[in-house]
A and B are shown apart, each in its own frame.
Chain A
Amino acid sequence: GNSVTQMEGPVTLSEEAFLTINCTYTATGYPSLFWYVQYPGEGLQLLLKATKADDKGSNKGFEATYRKETTSFHLEKGSVQVSDSAVYFCALLFYNQGGKLIFGQGTELSVKP
C-alpha cells in the first residue's frame, strides 16, 4: 500500500544551523508530494509541494525535491530560526483517489537561540 516514512524526532538545532528532515514514500503510481507545518495548538499549513519527478518545491527558505529514483522528498533549510520550531509532516496525495492525503508521523523541530 501507499505510505510515508519520516525521520524520527525531536530534532534539536541551534539557530542558523542547516536542517534536513528525511522523508521517503512507498506508492504505486505517481503521487503529488507535500510538506505541511503545524505550530503548537494549530492546524496544518502547506509549506511546499511538488507534483512530478524532479520538481523542486520552495517556500520561506525551505526546499524539497521530488526524487522518483530514491522515492524521497527530503526537507531542507540552510539556516533555521527559532520561529521555525514546529512539527513538520510529509504527505502524499493521489488526486484520482479522492484527493486523500497520506501522512508521515511528523517530525518535531526545536530551534534554540
Chain B
Amino acid sequence: DGGITQSPKYLFRKEGQNVTLSCEQNLNHDAMYWYRQDPGQGLRLIYYSQIVNDFQKGDIAEGYSVSREKKESFPLTVTSAQKNPTAFYLCASLERLNQPQHFGDGTRLSIL
C-alpha cells in the first residue's frame, strides 16, 4: 500500500538535545511538508519542499531544520534552539498542484 510513514510515533527529548523525526513516502510525490499541531490550534507549516535538494521555510521555521536528499524522504530536525518543542508533528505530501495533500499518522514529541 502506498502512503506516508512517520517514525517514531512517540519521541522524548532531553533539554539541549537535537532530535530527528522521520518521514518517508512511497507515493512518488514531488512535494512534502512538515506541520506542527498544538492543542486547540490548527496546523502550522514549518518547512516544505517542492523538489529534491530544495526546501523553503514555512510560518514557524525557527528552531527547526530539514533536508531533502531523496524524493521519498523529508526528515525534520528539532534543534535545541526550539524552546517549546512539545507538540504533534505531521508530515504530508502532494502529488501535483491540483490534488489534496496526504498526511502521515504523526509523531508526538515530548520533553523529559
Contacts and interface: CB of A to CB of B under 8 A. Distances in A.
Interface of A: 4, 34, 36, 41-46, 49, 51, 89, 91, 93, 95-96, 98-101, 103-106
Contact of B90 (A44, A51, A98, A104): A44
Contacts of B97: 95-96, 99
B58 interface: yes
B42 A43 contact: no
Kindly name the residue among B42, B90, B97, B106 whose own CB sees the greatest number of chain A CB atoms within 10 A.
B42
Interface of B: 4, 6, 31, 33, 35, 40-45, 48, 50, 56, 58, 90, 92, 94, 97-98, 100-106
Given A89-B42, A101-B43, A104-B42, A95 B98 contact: yes
B31 A106 contact: no
Kindly name the residue among A34, A43, A95 whose own CB sees the greatest number of chain B CB atoms within 10 A.
A43
B101 A101 contact: yes
A103 B100 CA distance: 13
A51 B40 contact: no
A36 B50 CA distance: 22
Given A98-B48, A100-B58, A43 B104 contact: yes
Nearest to A44: B103
A101 B105 contact: no
Contact of B106 (A42, A49, A96): A42
